Amino acid sequence: MAILPLVIAPDPRLKTRSEPIAEVTDEIRRLAADMFDTMYYERGVGLAAVQVGVLVRMMVADVEWKSDGEKGTQWVFINPEILSSSEEPHLYKEGCLSFPEQYAEVERPQSVRVRFTDLQGQRREENFDGLLATCVQHEIDHLNGVVFVDHISRVKRDIILRRLQKMKKQGVISHREHHPYQDHGDHEHVHGEHCNH
């Protein structure tokens, strides 16, 4: 088990396209396990490898975990691609572990069909809807060097990035010190409200 340090915006790695994974090796499986540890510790519902500084096309998600630490379905997506999206839009106030304490409403398709390789090396196709669909689209964006603030107005984006730059300069960004996963039991977290990806 390892909790990895997060890449915090602004950072050029978050604007970089990640490389495909040729084979699901032990190293990849270890990275996936560490990404889950990091995601739960930081109280996120999704995490892309680039967010821990590894530029490969892998992301993990669990949008069902509970405040008491109980885990939901753990999804691992390797080389994911969106095959189709619904016409119906879904508006959601998104957050991101690489953008601490910053939230913005983003409109994305309500559901998507995704092809990906799982941790067993099996090629799969699945449909996702609602929060998990939002999360999957948010993480696939990360693999393409796109972040959620790229979907909002330039004015709002600049405000968020300036705020983060200032926080970084003052050294006040540390998820672990401010809200460790272990201390999470004292307030009920409701998924769907300000979830971090």
Alpha-carbon gap, residue 117 to 129, rounded angstroms: 19
64 is catalytic: no
Residue choice 96, 114, 133, 164 for contact with Ni ion (CB under 5 A)? 96
Give, in degrees to the nearest 5, the angle at Cα 39 between 34 and 41: 95
- Which one of 13-21, 67-75, 91-99, 177-185 is the stretch in contact with Ni ion (CB under 5 A)? 91-99
Residue choice 57, 175, 184, 197 for contact with Ni ion (CB under 5 A)? 197
Token pair, residue 90, equals: 């879904």
**Binding of Ni ion at residue 175 (CB under 5 A)?**
no
Residues 55-74, one symbol each (x = binds Ni ion by CB under 5 A, - = not), give --------------------
> Closest separation between CB of residue 96 and Ni ion, Å?
3
**Binding of Ni ion at residue 108 (CB under 5 A)?**
no
3-state SS, residue 155: helix
**Binding of Ni ion at residue 164 (CB under 5 A)?**
no
> Strands (DSSP E) along 29-175, which ranges?
46-48, 58-61, 75-85, 89-96, 99-109, 111-117, 123-129
- Which one of 24-32, 88-96, 154-162, 169-177 is the stretch in contact with Ni ion (CB under 5 A)? 88-96
Alpha-carbon gap, residue 27 to 38, rounded angstroms: 16
Peptide bond into 80 cis (omega under 30): no
> Closest separation between CB of residue 120 and Ni ion, Å?
25
Residues lying near Ni ion in the complex (CB under 5 A): 96, 197
- Kindly list the catalytic residues: 139
